[in-house]
Amino acid sequence: MARWQRHIDVIGGKKSQGGPGHPGIRNKCSAPVKEIRASMSAMKFLSVKYPTLTRSRKIGEKVFVVEAIRDLDEAIDLLCAALTPEEQRDPFAEDLCPYFGILWPASEGLALYLAAHPEVVRGKRVLELGAGLGLPSLVAAHLGGEVLATDFHPDAESYFLRNCRHSSVTAGYRRLNWRSENLEGETFDVVLGSDVLYESKHPLEVARGLIAFARAGGEIILSDPGRAYVQPFLAAMRAEGFEEEMSLITVDQKDIAVFRFRV
C-alpha cells in the first residue's frame, strides 16, 4: 500500500490539495458544524518532535537560515503515530498536519519580491497570515518592517521564533485563525500571504480576510505557485474593488506569481 494511502486510511480521508503543493489529507464528515467545532476544540494539541534540517537562502544581501521539517511524509508518519484512534477520526485532524514546517516555493518567491522592493515594508506595520516558517516575515523585519507573523498551527510559533534567532531578526508572533479572528479590528500597512489558495472555498475567504486586516491606503501582497483557485480569488478581489499588479518570481525554475493590491 502506498505511503499516502496509509496516511489517508489512518486519518480517514481522501487525497486532495489539502496542503500547499502536496497531496494532503481530506476528511469527510456529516456532523453538524457546532459538533465538529466542539470536537476540534476538545482535541489536545500535540507537540511532535519532527526531525529538522536547516536551509540557507540568500535573499537580497542577507543569508537567512530557516529550520524546516526534514521530510513531510516522515513527519505525517510521526503525527499519525501520536494521535489516538479517536483523534484520528476527528474531521479536523488535518489541521494538525505539519504543512507549516516546509519551506514552500511561494514563500521564497514572496521573500524575494520583498527584497527587490524594500520600500514596501520599510518603516511599515506588516502582518503575515499563515506564516508557517515565516521567511517573508524574516525578510520584512530585516528590511525595517514592524512585523507580526501569524499561523493557526500550534507548533508553528516555536519554529518561527527559532528562525528569528537563526537569522538574527526580531519579529512578533501570534497564533491566529484569520478566517474567524480579526485581531480585535487591528489593521496593518502591509498584509502578506503565500500559497493560501489551495481549497475551493478559499478565494472569497482569502479576499475578505486580507482586506479586513489592511488599513486604508495600505497594501496586500500575495504569492501563489499557480493554484487552480487564483482566478476566482482575483475575481473576488475585483468584486471588492481591488485591481492587482502581477509580477513573476522564479524559484527553483518555477514561476511564482506575486499579486499586489493597493487598498
- In the numeric block, which cell numbers belong to residue 243? 485591481
pLDDT score, position 203: 78
What's the CA gap between 184 and 217, in Å, rounded? 20
Structural domains in the chain plus CATH codes = 3-99 (no CATH), 105-262 (3.40.50.150)
Q: pLDDT tens for residues 53-81? A: 999 999 999 999 999 999 999 999 999 88
- In the numeric block, which cell numbers belong to residue 56? 540557507
Name which of 26-30, 108-112, 160-164, 182-186 the model is least confident about.
Answer: 26-30
Sorting pLDDT into bands at 50, 70 and 90, what band is 27?
very low
Report percent pLDDT > 90 for the chain: 63
Half-sphere exposure of 17 (CA within 13 A, CB side): 15
Query: Do β-strands 214-224 and 254-262 pair in parallel, antiparallel, or remain unpaired?
Result: antiparallel
Q: Please report, as a single letter, which amino acid is at residue 114.
A: L
Q: What's the chain's average pLDDT?
A: 83
Q: pLDDT tens for residues 167-207? A: 999 999 999 988 777 788 899 999 999 998 877 766 777 78
- Considering only residues 36 and 126, tell me which one the structure prediction assigns the higher pLDDT: 126
The average pLDDT across 27-37 equals 39
- In the numeric block, which cell numbers belong to residue 199? 481549497
Q: Please report, as a single letter, which amino acid is at residue 188.
A: F
